[in-house]
Structure 1
Amino acid sequence: MTGQTTDRDSGSLLAARKNADDMILSMTGYGESQCHDDGVHYALELRSVNNRYFKASIKLPETLAVLEAEVEKLLRARLIRGSVNCTLRLRNTSAEAAQDVNVAALQRYVEQLGRITTNGPVQIDLAAVLALPGVCQPPEIGESERERQFSVLSKLVNQALDRLVEMRRTEGQALREDLLLHCERIRENLAAVADQAPQVMKDYHQRLLQRANELLAGSSLQLQLDDVRREVAVYAERCDVHEEISRLRSHLDQFERLCDKGEHAGRKLDFLAQEMLREANTIGSKANDALIAHHVVEIKSAIDRLKEQVQNVE
Structure 2
Amino acid sequence: MIQSMTGYGKADAHFGGKKIYVEIKSLNSKSLDLNARIAPLYREREIEIRKMITPIVERGKVDFSIWTEKENAAEIAPINAEAVKSYVTQLRSISEEAGLPFDDSQAWQLLVRLPDTTAVQTSEELTEEEWNVVSAAIKEALQHLVDFRKQEGEALYRKFKEKIDNIARLMKEIEPFEKSRVQKIRERLEARLEELRGVDYDKNRLEQELIYYIEKLDISEEKQRLTNHLNYFCETMNTGHAGQGKKLGFIAQEMGREINTTGSKSNQAEMQNIVVMMKDELEQIKEQVLNVM
Please name the residue that 1:284 is paired with. Answer: 263
1:89 equivalent in alignment to 2:89: no
Please name the residue that 1:35 is paired with. Answer: 13
Deviations 1:81-115 (A, max 9, x none): 111111111124587997xxxxxxxxxxxxxxxxx
Please name the residue that 1:296 is paired with. Answer: 275
1:228 equivalent in alignment to 2:212: no
Please name the residue that 1:170 is paired with. Answer: 151
Q: What is the one-letter code of the residue matched to 1:78? A: I
Partners of 1:95 and 1:150 in 2: how far apart?
A: 20
Aligned counterpart in structure 1 of residue 238 of structure 2, from 237, 260, 264: 260
Aligned counterpart in structure 1 of residue 123 of structure 2, from 139, 142, 145: 139
Q: What is the one-letter code of the residue matched to 2:52? A: L
Please name the residue that 1:52 is paired with. Answer: 30
Partners of 1:253 and 1:270 in 2: how far apart?
A: 14
Please name the residue that 1:76 is paired with. Answer: 54
Count of paired positions: 253
Partners of 1:166 and 1:140 in 2: how far apart?
A: 34
SS of 2:29's equivalent in the other structure is coil
Partners of 2:37 and 2:121 in 1: how far apart?
A: 18
Q: Is the 8 A contact 1:208 1:228 kept in 2?
A: no
Deviations 1:35-94 (A, max 9, x none): 112223111111111111112111111121122221111111212211111111112458
Structure 1 residues 63 and 97: CA distance shift in structure 2, 3 A: farther
Please name the residue that 2:166 is paired with. Answer: 185
Partners of 2:273 and 2:128 in 1: how far apart?
A: 65
Q: What is the one-letter code of the residue matched to 1:310? A: V
How big is the shift at 1:146?
4.3
Please name the residue that 1:18 is paired with. Answer: none
Structure 1 residues 255 and 97: CA distance shift in structure 2, 3 A: farther
Tell me the TM-score normalized by structure 2.
0.79
Partners of 1:250 and 1:55 in 2: how far apart?
A: 35
Q: What is the one-letter code of the residue matched to 2:46? A: E
Percent of aligned pairs sharing the same letter: 32
SS of 1:261's equivalent in the other structure is coil
Q: What is the one-letter code of the residue matched to 2:180? A: Q
Please name the residue that 2:185 is paired with. Answer: 204
Q: What is the one-letter code of the residue matched to 1:299? A: M
Aligned counterpart in structure 1 of residue 195 of structure 2, from 214, 238, 242: 214
Q: What is the one-letter code of the residue matched to 2:285? A: L
How big is the shift at 1:247?
0.8
Q: Is the 8 A contact 1:194 1:242 kept in 2?
A: no
Please name the residue that 2:292 is paired with. Answer: 313
Q: What is the one-letter code of the residue matched to 1:165? A: V
**Structure 2: unaligned runs, 5 residues or longer:** 78-111
Q: What is the one-letter code of the residue matched to 1:278? A: R
Q: Is the 8 A contact 1:240 1:287 kept in 2?
A: no
Deviations 1:213-263 (A, max 9, x none): 221x2x1x4332112112212212321211111111111111112223346
Structure 1 residues 194 and 80: CA distance shift in structure 2, 3 A: farther
Partners of 1:138 and 1:279 in 2: how far apart?
A: 70
How big is the shift at 1:147?
3.4
Q: Which has the larger displacement, 223-232 or 184-193?
A: 223-232
Aligned counterpart in structure 1 of residue 217 of structure 2, from 239, 242, 246: 239
Q: Is the 8 A contact 2:18 2:74 kept in 1?
A: no
Partners of 1:237 and 1:300 in 2: how far apart?
A: 24
Tell me the TM-score normalized by structure 1.
0.74
Structure 1 residues 79 and 246: CA distance shift in structure 2, 3 A: same
SS of 2:262's equivalent in the other structure is helix
Q: What is the one-letter code of the residue matched to 2:277? A: E
Partners of 1:66 and 1:214 in 2: how far apart?
A: 90
Aligned CA-pair RMSD: 2.5
Q: What is the one-letter code of the residue matched to 1:60? A: I
Q: Is the 8 A contact 1:63 1:138 kept in 2?
A: no
SS of 2:67's equivalent in the other structure is strand
Please name the residue that 2:139 is paired with. Answer: 158
